[in-house]
């Protein structure tokens, strides 16, 4: 976590006894957190961890994960955050493919009571590689994105300005730290000197509203929060920061009725912040240049950015949606061309050109899901696409080419539960005798994607039947 130096500075000043972390019944002040991070760093060094090592964190408790992230940062190594919800085989694949130098399975040792904090020392180098995380679950080669310290920390002032962050805030973090959205929310809160309340899960989030000032979430979780407030849940929320899939204007209106300002943003793990919407549409995030490059034969273009916030790329030579053209980068997201909008400056997104499904803040690569389902007996082929969903942005849809036989869906769902991350599992299942195909015999993924997205009502998806 690229903010260990910030935490040490807070602990050395007047904020030493201010709450820094909450997770369930567990608490840490800034003084305690700094001492634990130093003790963890000493343990890592004593057991062989060196600067620039890749350190995989496979911890279940988010508070322990934050302490370990800070300790790794103090060592000068790169933390790789795993998701405790991953199936066992997925963790094994990550370790096999990425070959981390160190794996942390258990919480690091805590500091002795009254341990000296020491001097924070000089500000660390912004170009050092301080964090690695995953753009989505993967059943194939894991795609871990790696970034420099400065690609996050130098954006903090801009984020603070948009949110109106204060040292006295409690910031509610509503998801796992393996998600860059939630990890960034945590590190930004600690950099500001606020308290990060780690409350993943609907019930934990609802309970945290009574003491939270700011909440970071995806649109579907915003609906959960608003439902709880409509039902009378106590809250002192001032701001909701929403990332991931598109925000429904109704959600902004519902939030305003509870006195909550909504700050929405668009980005990607590979690109970090791209655009922000404070109520007038998506505009370029500070220091980001945007370009929508036209695609032949369509009114859409591909979103490219030139930005100081872009990541370094993927570990272990993994392939992913990130592409570069000199100083410009893209992950293949599509948007309406400015001319189509009457030269309006707002960015209007229209999904992913590579067929990736953006669901509840996660990016699901269709090929990964297809690779898991294709070996199921009786399946000749399968295509995965996204269908629009008001709360999640999109849901994963699987179209299976197979004969109609009893038990097929149940078998497919068992395989999905055993091999896929929750975001990757299809919500809707269809069967077809023969998939639509391109001239070279490949499944016509674009046709099925357009059919389910409703962008091309004449698209012929074949004689689909719901798989029961």
Query: Which tens digit of pLDDT belongs to each residue from 27-58?
Result: 999 999 999 999 999 999 999 999 999 999 99
| pLDDT for the residue 138 | 40
3-state secondary structure 100-142: CCEEECCCCCCCCCCCCCCCCCCCCCCCCEEEEEECCCCCCCC
* 374 located within any domain: yes
HSE (side-chain half, CA atoms, 13 Å) at 90: 25
Residue ending a domain, among 104, 133, 166, is: 166
The H or E element spanning position 326 is none
Instruction: Answer yes or no: do 37 and 74 share one domain.
Output: yes
| pLDDT for the residue 341 | 45
* 233 located within any domain: no
The percentage of the chain sitting over the pLDDT mark of 70, rounded to a whole number, equals 90
Residue ending a domain, among 115, 146, 166, is: 166
* 52 located within any domain: yes
Among 133-147, 196-210, 384-398, the range of highest mean pLDDT: 196-210
* 312 located within any domain: yes
Q: Is residue 301 pLDDT above 70, yes or no?
A: yes
Q: What is the mean pLDDT of the chain?
A: 87
Query: Which tens digit of pLDDT belongs to each residue from 416-433?
Result: 999 888 889 999 999 988
| pLDDT for the residue 250 | 84
At 218, phi and psi to the nearest 5?
-100, 165
Q: What is the CATH number of the domain that holds 46?
A: 3.40.50.980
| pLDDT for the residue 245 | 54
The percentage of the chain sitting over the pLDDT mark of 90, rounded to a whole number, equals 54
The Cα-based distances of 364 to 275, 377, 405 in angstroms read 21, 24, 28
Q: Is residue 370 pLDDT above 90, yes or no?
A: no
Q: What is the CATH number of the domain that holds 415?
A: 3.30.300.30
Can you name the residues that pair with 335 across neighbouring β-strands?
A: 301, 349
Place 322 in a pLDDT band, splitting at 50, 70 and 90: very high
Least-confidence region, from 121-130, 403-412, 448-457: 448-457
Q: Is residue 5 within 8 Å of residue 123, measured between CB atoms?
A: yes
Can you name the residues that pair with 197 across neighbouring β-strands?
A: 22, 172
* 256 located within any domain: no
Least-confidence region, from 97-106, 169-178, 231-240, 430-439: 430-439
Q: What's the whole-number mean pLDDT along residues 184-201?
A: 95
| pLDDT for the residue 317 | 84
* 422 located within any domain: yes
Instruction: Answer yes or no: do 331 and 397 share one domain.
Output: no
Instruction: Answer yes or no: do 98 and 118 share one domain.
Output: yes
Torsion sign across C-alpha atoms 424, 426, 431, 436: negative
Q: Return the beta strands (E) in 214-321 as ranges.
A: 214-217, 239-242, 261-268, 272-277, 283-284, 289-294, 300-306, 313-314
For residues 309 and 316, the model is more confident at 309
Q: What's the whole-number mean pLDDT along residues 151-160?
A: 95
Q: Is residue 271 within 8 Å of residue 294, measured between CB atoms?
A: no
Place 334 in a pLDDT band, splitting at 50, 70 and 90: confident
Instruction: Answer yes or no: do 397 and 339 share one domain.
Output: no
Number of domains in the chain: 3
Q: What is the CATH number of the domain that holds 329?
A: 2.30.38
Q: What's the whole-number mean pLDDT along residues 249-254?
A: 88
Q: Is residue 344 pLDDT above 60, yes or no?
A: no
Instruction: Answer yes or no: do 93 and 77 share one domain.
Output: yes
Instruction: Answer yes or no: do 333 and 373 share one domain.
Output: no
| pLDDT for the residue 446 | 67
Instruction: Answer yes or no: do 37 and 151 share one domain.
Output: yes
| pLDDT for the residue 459 | 44
Instruction: Answer yes or no: do 162 and 92 share one domain.
Output: yes
Place 246 in a pLDDT band, splitting at 50, 70 and 90: low
Structure tokens at 163: 């949110």
* 247 located within any domain: no
Place 403 in a pLDDT band, splitting at 50, 70 and 90: confident
Instruction: Answer yes or no: do 377 and 332 share one domain.
Output: no
Q: What is the span of the domain harbouring residue 300?
A: 270-352
Instruction: Answer yes or no: do 373 and 435 share one domain.
Output: yes
Query: Which tens digit of pLDDT belongs to each residue from 444-466?
Result: 776 777 777 664 444 455 567 77
Q: Is residue 342 pLDDT above 50, yes or no?
A: no
| pLDDT for the residue 367 | 77
Residue ending a domain, among 352, 367, 383, is: 352
Instruction: Answer yes or no: do 337 and 445 share one domain.
Output: no
Q: Is residue 31 within 8 Å of residue 17, measured between CB atoms?
A: yes
* 293 located within any domain: yes
Of 179, 160, 155, give the one whose Cα is nearest residue 171. 160
Instruction: Answer yes or no: do 299 and 366 share one domain.
Output: no
Pairing, β 379-389 against β 362-364 = unpaired
Q: For the whole model, what pTM was predicted?
A: 0.80
């Amino acid at each position: 976590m690229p903010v260990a130096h910030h935490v040490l500075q807070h602990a050395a000043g007047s904020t030493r006894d201010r709450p820094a972390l909450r997770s369930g019944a567990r608490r840490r002040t800034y003084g305690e957190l700094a001492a634990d991070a130093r003790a963890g760093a000493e343990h890592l060094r004593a057991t062989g961890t060196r600067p620039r090592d890749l350190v995989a964190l496979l911890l279940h408790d988010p508070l322990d994960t934050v302490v370990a992230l800070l300790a790794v940062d103090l060592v000068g190594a790169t933390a790789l955050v795993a998701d405790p919800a991953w199936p066992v085989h997925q963790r094994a694949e990550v370790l096999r493919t990425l070959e981390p130098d160190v794996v942390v399975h258990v919480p690091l040792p805590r500091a002795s009571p009254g341990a000296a904090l020491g001097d924070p020392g000089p500000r660390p180098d912004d170009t050092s590689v301080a964090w690695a995380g995953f753009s989505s679950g993967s059943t194939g080669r894991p795609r871990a994105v790696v970034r420099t310290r400065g690609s996050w920390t130098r954006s903090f002032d801009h984020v603070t300005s948009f949110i109106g962050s204060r040292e006295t805030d409690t910031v509610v973090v509503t998801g796992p730290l393996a998600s860059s959205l939630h990890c960034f929310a945590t590190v930004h809160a600690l950099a500001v000197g606020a308290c990060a309340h780690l409350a993943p899960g609907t019930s934990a989030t609802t309970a945290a509203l009574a003491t939270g000032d700011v909440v970071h979430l995806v649109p579907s979780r915003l609906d959960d929060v608003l439902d709880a407030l409509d039902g009378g849940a106590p809250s002192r929320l001032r701001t909701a920061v929403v990332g991931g899939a598109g925000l429904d204007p109704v959600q902004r209106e519902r939030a305003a009725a509870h006195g909550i300002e909504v700050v929405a943003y668009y980005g990607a793990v590979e690109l970090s912040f791209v655009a922000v919407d404070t109520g007038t549409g998506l505009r370029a995030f500070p220091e980001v240049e945007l370009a929508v490059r036209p695609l032949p034969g369509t009114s859409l273009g591909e979103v490219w950015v030139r930005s100081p916030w872009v990541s370094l790329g993927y570990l272990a030579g993994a392939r992913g949606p990130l592409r570069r053209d000199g100083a410009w980068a893209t992950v293949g997201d599509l948007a309406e061309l400015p001319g189509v909008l009457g030269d309006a400056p707002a960015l209007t997104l229209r999904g992913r050109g590579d067929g990736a499904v953006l669901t509840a803040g996660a990016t699901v690569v269709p090929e990964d899901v297809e690779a898991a389902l294709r070996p199921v007996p009786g399946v000749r082929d399968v295509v995965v696409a996204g269908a629009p969903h008001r709360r999640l942005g999109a849901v994963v849809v699987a179209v299976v080419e197979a004969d109609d036989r009893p038990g097929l869906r149940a078998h497919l769902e068992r395989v999905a539960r055993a091999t896929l991350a929750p975001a990757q599992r299809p919500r809707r299942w269809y069967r077809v005798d023969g998939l639509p195909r391109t001239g070279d015999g490949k499944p016509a993924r674009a046709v099925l994607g357009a059919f389910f997205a409703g962008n091309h009502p004449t698209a012929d998806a074949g004689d689909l039947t719901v798989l029961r």
